[in-house]
Amino acid sequence: MSNSGKCQICGSEIKIYDYDIRNDRQAFDCSHCGRFYFLYSFEPDISNEQKNDFYKVSSWIYEQNNEFNNVPEIDEEKFITVLDMPVKKIKEKFDLMMKYLANTSSKNTEIDHIKVSCWIKDDDEQGALLTKAIDMGYVSGIEVQGSAAGTYIISINKPKLSFDGLEYIESLDEPNINSKQVFAAFYFSDRIKEIFDNQVKQAIEECGLTYKRISSSTTAHDTTIDDEIIAMIKSSRIVIADFTDQRNSVYFEAGYALGMQLPVIWTCKRDHVDNLSFDTRQYPHILWDSPEDLKEQLVNRIKAIL
């Protein structure tokens, strides 16, 4: 059985289901957030000083439902954790919005669904983002007008992306496409370092790119090595990650590059392949027997990416 009411997170219409005593939780189905459970009779504090950040919880619930096919269970700790998540940068929100519009351009688009799926805070922020997309000539079929109160009135009728809009969407899948830099992550043993500073460097330069690596000896004294590694990865076209000798930092660097949607070339000396982590074994590794073998395979893989 269910009753109707207002969502304590976003204020939209919601269905409230009977309390599940066995699992100590109550189910909700919000027209804006999606489906979720509150555990242990938890209720959000609507007087919370972080009330303006409740939109993060709505977007997180929506993402759990639509991206991961998961109905999240929320208690006080989980609620606070989501509230404390870093605010997405405006560029991230704009890119999410462009992808959403591209995926829904053939049908009517719900204004509220743009907001919640793209982690947009409020109507004003959504209006500003849509206005930017219109001004850039990326999308049509949307009207945005400012009201006397300074808020935005938005009308959407089957948005259509222009050529420039579609090209922008494609560019999101190819970050740093104009970069000439290849970042190499590997275990800094004398043997592996020699191979990377010679044969791997030669392979990269033969492809017209620049070899980059980070070590404590190349890092400025007023900069942490982690900060420099992250900055280097962010500015690279390709990341080469070698898992010979199973260095934990290489797993981190490869994972960070994946999160940046950068091409990662996975390599490992053939006689070390049995030690690969289960998490990365799914990716196609270049298995090499000698420095020359590694160089040849790298040239072929880099050219395939370019």
Q: Of 84-88, 215-219, 241-245, where does mean pLDDT reach its minimum?
A: 215-219
- Shared domain for 276 and 186, answered yes or no, is yes
pTM of the entire predicted model: 0.59
Q: Please tell me the predicted confidence (pLDDT) of residue 154.
A: 65
Task: Answer with the one of 138, 172, 206 that is the final residue of a domain.
Answer: 172
- Shared domain for 65 and 98, answered yes or no, is no
DSSP string across 16-61 = EEPPBTTTTEEEEEETTTEEEEEETT----TT-TTGGGHHHHHHHH
- Shared domain for 15 and 72, answered yes or no, is yes
Q: Which pLDDT tens digit goes with each residue over 184-195?
A: 999 989 999 999
Q: Please tell me the predicted confidence (pLDDT) of residue 141.
A: 78
Q: Which pLDDT tens digit goes with each residue over 150-187?
A: 555 566 667 788 999 998 988 877 778 788 999 999 99
Q: Please tell me the predicted confidence (pLDDT) of residue 220.
A: 46
Q: Which pLDDT tens digit goes with each residue over 62-83?
A: 988 887 788 999 999 889 888 9
- Shared domain for 94 and 24, answered yes or no, is no
- Shared domain for 208 and 284, answered yes or no, is yes
**CATH number of the domain where residue 164 is located:** 1.10.10.10
Label residue 275 exposed, middle or buried (CB < 10 Å: 0-12, 13-18, 19+).
exposed
Contact indicator for 92, 172 with CB cutoff of 8 Å: no
Contact indicator for 122, 95 with CB cutoff of 8 Å: no
- Shared domain for 99 and 142, answered yes or no, is yes
CB count in 10 Å sphere of residue 5 = 12
Segment 97-123 mean pLDDT: 79
- Shared domain for 35 and 118, answered yes or no, is no
- Shared domain for 212 and 113, answered yes or no, is no
Contact indicator for 268, 284 with CB cutoff of 8 Å: no
Task: Answer with the one of 120, 146, 172 that is the final residue of a domain.
Answer: 172
DSSP 8-state assignment for residue 71: -
CA dist., res. 221 & res. 216, Å (int):
9
Structural domain count, the chain? 3
Q: What length is written for the chain?
A: 306
Label residue 94 exposed, middle or buried (CB < 10 Å: 0-12, 13-18, 19+).
buried
How many CA atoms lie within 13 Å of 56's alpha carbon, on the beta-carbon side? 16
- Shared domain for 197 and 278, answered yes or no, is yes
Among the listed residues 289, 285, 256, 248, the one whose alpha carbon sits nearest the alpha carbon of residue 271: 289
Q: Please tell me the predicted confidence (pLDDT) of residue 9.
A: 92
CA dist., res. 159 & res. 142, Å (int):
6
How many CA atoms lie within 13 Å of 281's alpha carbon, on the beta-carbon side? 8
- Please enumerate in sequence order all residues whose Cβ is within 8 A of that of 11, keeping only pairs 6 or more positions apart, or say none: none
- Shared domain for 21 and 124, answered yes or no, is no
Q: Which residue range forms the structural domain that includes residue 114?
A: 90-172
- Shared domain for 69 and 118, answered yes or no, is no
- Shared domain for 161 and 188, answered yes or no, is no
Task: Answer with the one of 34, 63, 83 that is the final residue of a domain.
Answer: 83
Mean pLDDT for all residues in the chain: 86
CA dist., res. 122 & res. 87, Å (int):
13
